[in-house]
Chain A
């Protein structure tokens, strides 16, 4: 078959029943306040790291739910842990601890 230079996207379908939730569960057990998040985006709006990167805690939480580890890693590594997100959070989610726990989980051999 002649090659026309076209290809098909790899499937981006996310199966919410089967996706990788290990990191999310690890964080959830140690810091239950992550479940209080209402995805309002206040944290992303104040984020110091968002000046130079795509870091957004709201997005991180969403990606955690979807089990997209690589994206979570590349985002959370840009965090400066300044804690502004914690101060503005209307739901009092302990954001700095969540980032540290994600780092911890990413260092574990399974992930």
Chain B
């Protein structure tokens, strides 16, 4: 058995990490409910496990999503993760050429140049030394990039770095020093035994003036100690994400989601966060000086720090979730924690049950609270509904009711359920076929929490439906329009196509650099209860400049709240989609006549 005392720091660190991680994994899995355990078990022994294995390779090692964010940033992460992984795997294969045992202790491939100083005199021996040198070079380039990123994050597509704690810094520095230490040790070894390849041999020759014999053994000690420090720091620092992300991918693909605060899935998510800081740039609260982004938020959860205000201070716009390379649903964590803080079990609403009509119509229009503050939308929808040819009625004409989402977002679940039951009864009483709402917030709630037995449509979908069934016609106007995707409609309900199709019927739709899932939040979001009015205004202004409206005559949105927030600060006029349609609506003309009309207009 090959052994030397200097492997001890490495070996103890490695065994510590292994034991610690196994205990943690066991605890997390044990904490899952019986159904979730069965789900995980069923998934692991199913054929779809291969998609997870593929994802582990592409995300945990190759970091494909970060490559999409910025190529250089992706290379930095991939070179370190994938490079190190290959170094370990190939090192283990290389050992097979030297050792007569089939199983070797884990330190032999790491310190191979110490235990086997002479290269095997064949093609494979030299080939492997070359590959190992090459991989080391790639990792070193990654370390150099990581070093430069601390000073010039803008070159990596990031506006600012994450501010780390001292403990994380120790872990980062030990990781950075692992590979230079390996390089030094192998180069010294190469200058004596000539067992290196292009990198270590060259460096060994350059170091020939040094007393290599006396320095070699301490350099192996140094390499081992730095590895040991890194392994001991790993479970308590950001690098716990390396093992945890694998479990996270498995759990997520098995269909497990966190259902309450400190659910085991959420604990896995918190430790799987690598604090890479990509969410910091995507967050709109960064620019007004709040450190509340998931990177910071999850850190406060992980180390049990006080963070009440951080939990509430979030727009819940979901941009960070879209940007996260690990796929952490941080907005869900926030909502669950708000439930813990704000739940009021004593609430008993006394609604008026019989004030609503129960006449039957095909279309039921639900304006929603926010639409009542922007009566232009309600008026426009009335015009459109008149032209649609459907029989219709407004549910909340003068008796305003809430969909319950504000309470859900604030965490008052039991109160929200009462509201939901009440509103659902009112809606079901009308037995309508289509429920149309102008408010994306209501739309999302109807879809997710109501279990209604009718077609639920946002007004953008409804107008699109009217166009495709040739129920309304509009005049074409030569105006340049930019469309703003409301958070709840776009990222929340995945509706991107229909509003764009509607706009293209009426005006020129300009493309935008920040649209669809990257669209900014207007700042008026109901998810945030902490922001002051001035700060909201600032967010709205910055969102407008992010969308760059210089070439646009009109900004169109599909949410009453966005309309209200934007029209307060915008220099370009802002309109709701329904207003744009209602203003240009014309009496229906037959299909052919419409075509001729269009042809004449283009002439």
Question: How far is the CB of A58 from the nearest CB of chain B, in Å?
Answer: 18
Q: Which residues of chain B have C-beta atoms less than 8 A from A46's C-beta? A: 372-373
Q: Which residues of chain A have C-beta atoms less than 8 A from B410's C-beta? A: 81, 96, 100
- B401 within 8 A of partner (CB): yes
**Is A33 within 8 A of B532, CB to CB?**
yes
List residues of A (10-51) whose CB comes within 8 Å of B's CBs: 33, 46, 48, 51
Give the nearest-CB partner of A93 in chain B.
B533
Most B-side CB within 10 Å, residue of A33, A51, A86? A51
Question: How far is the CB of A54 from the nearest CB of chain B, in Å?
Answer: 10
**Is B373 within 8 A of A104, CB to CB?**
no
**Is A51 within 8 A of B352, CB to CB?**
yes
**Is A87 within 8 A of B373, CB to CB?**
yes
Q: Which residues of chain A have C-beta atoms less than 8 A from B369's C-beta? A: 48, 82-84
**Is A81 within 8 A of B533, CB to CB?**
no
Partner of A83, one of B400, B526, B532: B526
Give the nearest-CB partner of A81 in chain B.
B406
Considering the chains assembled together, what is the distance between the CA atoms of A80 and B405 in angstroms? 9
Question: How far is the CB of B340 from the nearest CB of chain A, in Å?
Answer: 12
Give the nearest-CB partner of A103 in chain B.
B344
- B341 within 8 A of partner (CB): yes
Considering the chains assembled together, what is the distance between the CA atoms of A81 and B406 in angstroms? 6
Q: Which residues of chain B have C-beta atoms less than 8 A from A81's C-beta? A: 406-407, 410, 412, 526
Q: Which residues of chain A have C-beta atoms less than 8 A from B400's C-beta? A: 48, 51
**Is B346 within 8 A of A77, CB to CB?**
yes
- A97 within 8 A of partner (CB): yes
Considering the chains assembled together, what is the distance between the CA atoms of A87 and B369 in angstroms? 11
Considering the chains assembled together, what is the distance between the CA atoms of A97 and B342 in angstroms? 11
Q: Which residues of chain A have C-beta atoms less than 8 A from B529's C-beta? A: 94, 96-97, 100
**Is B342 within 8 A of A80, CB to CB?**
no
- B451 within 8 A of partner (CB): no
Considering the chains assembled together, what is the distance between the CA atoms of A51 and B402 in angstroms? 11
Considering the chains assembled together, what is the distance between the CA atoms of A9 and B350 in angstroms? 29
Question: How far is the CB of B272 from the nearest CB of chain A, in Å?
Answer: 30
Most B-side CB within 10 Å, residue of A53, A83, A86? A83
Q: Which residues of chain B have C-beta atoms less than 8 A from A103's C-beta? A: 342, 344
- B351 within 8 A of partner (CB): yes
| Given A33-B532, A83-B406; A88-B349 close (CB under 8 Å) | no
- A4 within 8 A of partner (CB): no
Q: Which residues of chain A have C-beta atoms less than 8 A from B350's C-beta? A: 52-53, 78
**Is B564 within 8 A of A100, CB to CB?**
no
Question: How far is the CB of B442 from the nearest CB of chain A, in Å?
Answer: 11
Considering the chains assembled together, what is the distance between the CA atoms of A83 and B525 in angstroms? 10
Question: How far is the CB of B538 from the nearest CB of chain A, in Å?
Answer: 13
**Is A80 within 8 A of B419, CB to CB?**
yes
**Is B564 within 8 A of A87, CB to CB?**
yes
- B370 within 8 A of partner (CB): yes
Partner of B402, one of A48, A77, A92, A100: A48
Question: How far is the CB of B526 from the nearest CB of chain A, in Å?
Answer: 5
**Is B349 within 8 A of A52, CB to CB?**
yes
A-B contact pairs, 27 of them (CB 8 A): A33-B532, A46-B373, A48-B400, A51-B352, A51-B399, A51-B400, A52-B350, A52-B352, A77-B347, A78-B349, A80-B407, A81-B407, A81-B412, A82-B369, A82-B370, A82-B402, A82-B406, A83-B406, A86-B533, A87-B373, A87-B564, A92-B532, A92-B534, A94-B529, A94-B533, A96-B529, A107-B344
**Footprint of B on A, CB under 8 Å?**
33, 46, 48, 51-53, 77-78, 80-84, 86-88, 92, 94, 96-97, 100, 103-104, 107
Nearest 9 Cβ contacts at the A-B interface: A92-B533, A81-B406, A80-B402, A82-B369, A97-B529, A96-B529, A77-B347, A82-B406, A48-B400
Extra 14 A-B pairs, beta carbons < 8 Å, given A82-B406, A92-B532, A92-B534: A33-B532, A52-B349, A53-B350, A77-B348, A78-B349, A80-B402, A80-B406, A80-B407, A80-B415, A80-B419, A81-B412, A87-B524, A96-B406, A104-B342
